[in-house]
Chains A and B, each alone.
Chain A
Amino acid sequence: MSDVISLESIPTISPMFRLQWEEVQDAFVILYPEGMVKLSQSAGETLKRVDGAASVGDIINDLEAQFEGADLKDDVLQLLEVSKENGWIKTTS
């Protein structure tokens, strides 16, 4: 992949999309013009930590703390890369 995401970069949700919790779906969703993507639980847990302040490394640490020491680095990086490809998030550097 051309733009690999580094641990230091800081992701933000792109202004073209909105992430929100949907009670009736029991899931996080990404909303955009006339459409909606329902996120898996792990994708939702990751993207809800994207707040424009936390770095990718912070997000991984936070998730690993919550899910008791699981090694989530590769999964998170992969998810963020896909999210970036879809235009859902932007990253610094």
Chain B
Amino acid sequence: MAGLKQQVNQAGHTVTPPLWLLAELTYKCPLQCPYCSNPVEIAAHKNELSTDDWIRVMREARKMGSAQIGFSGGEPLIRQDLEELIAEARQLGFYSNLITSGVGMDEARIKAFKKAGLDHIQISFQASNEELNNFLGGTKTFEHKLEMARLVKKYEYPMVLNIVIHRQNIDQMTDILDMVVSLDADYVELASTQYYGWSLHNIDQLLPTRDQLERAEKIAHEYQDRYKDKMKIIYVVPDYFEGRPKKCMNGWGNIFLTIAPDGVALPCHSARQLPGMDLPSVNDFSIEQIWNGSNDFNKFRGMDWMKEPCRSCDEKEVDLGGCRCQAYMMTGDATNTDPICTKSSEHQALLDDVARIETNALNHVEEKPLIFRNMKNSKKHLDSLTKSE
């Protein structure tokens, strides 16, 4: 890329700037979505960076070339210093994105965020009707979310509505799209659940069947066509059915820098689970040291780490071998080919598991109950780990 200041670091990798800073301000959340992408171990990571820490992180990342900042969590609205952080982000020249469930927001705060210079608000819905939305979120939030979405428009923010799609809500695709149309969203993200963390625990209840998926895709495409001048609808289908993995995070250590609530810097929000990670913290290192020099961020940069079949595959630049976390979770080795790929030796095992889940779904067999994301269930999980050690 001409003009882009790249540099080669000591490990010999070409390093591009961390364009995207994802600031996970807190793991606290009033909702309990069973597909939450936070780690199941949230109860073990309760420390949170201070306002000053975050300001330092933002300054350092901006200097490295970060242009987008996402305030997320958990629920970022829980942080009472959010207004202050937004103002600092604006002053530094970030494009700031607030990624929220809408719970903890009211008109006064929306106004204050605008004054502080917030650029965009993304609100997530769990479903298009009150009952299912409130069931999935584990709390009553639907009416409030609708009201917040209307206020986001009133204060002239670009509005993204995000709905995580899975077996429990995928059959409501038409209703979901009618809802986002009526709320006048500018962008709509229909994000298929990705399976790690809480969602992997609950995959038996969440993975849609192929039939469901085909129907939903057809509907989504109709709406994409019909509203193409009004809103941008993005539907990311689950890679479980694709035969080729996604280029996870657009490449490890390529554009995404996630900072967890306790200050640990991660190449992707799920990377904490991988073995052999140093998990450098912004409490001990600068962003420059972490991004350019840390073992973690260099681990899967580029393609040198690959084994067969990826190493000699002519598609390796397209997907970079897929998701490292998925490879680890399904094969026990993070340097393996993502089993989503038909060339992976573990692909058949994945298909068998998908078939098992689908058979159970069609016969309404529930092997284990849905687990909601909350501190109590996280503690239970942590206890079970210590017991089995």
Contact = CB atoms under 8 A, between A and B. Distances in A.
Nearest to B93: A20
A36 B4 contact: no
Classify chain A's interface size: 10 to 19
Tell which of A16, A18, A26 has the most Cβ of chain B within 10 Å: A16
Interface residues of B, number: 22
A49 B283 CA distance: 42
B68 to A, nearest CB: 7
Given A24-B17, A33-B160, A18 B119 contact: yes
Contacts of B19: 36
A8 interface: no
Contacts of B1: 38
Contacts of A26: 3-5
B122 interface: yes
A26 B122 CA distance: 29
A9 B172 CA distance: 45
A31 B95 contact: yes
Nearest to A35: B68
Given A15-B156, A25-B3, A36 B64 contact: no
A37 B325 CA distance: 29
Interface in B181-204: 186-187
Nearest to A29: B67
B97 A33 contact: yes
A15 B70 CA distance: 19
Contact of A24 (B64, B119, B120, B156): B64
Contacts of A27: 3
Interface string A36-49: 10100000000000
Contact of B119 (A22, A23, A33, A38): A33
Contacts of A20: 93
9 contacts: A16-B158, A18-B95, A20-B93, A22-B65, A24-B4, A24-B17, A25-B4, A34-B68, A34-B97
Top 4 A-B pairs, shortest CB-CB distance = A24-B65, A31-B95, A33-B120, A26-B3
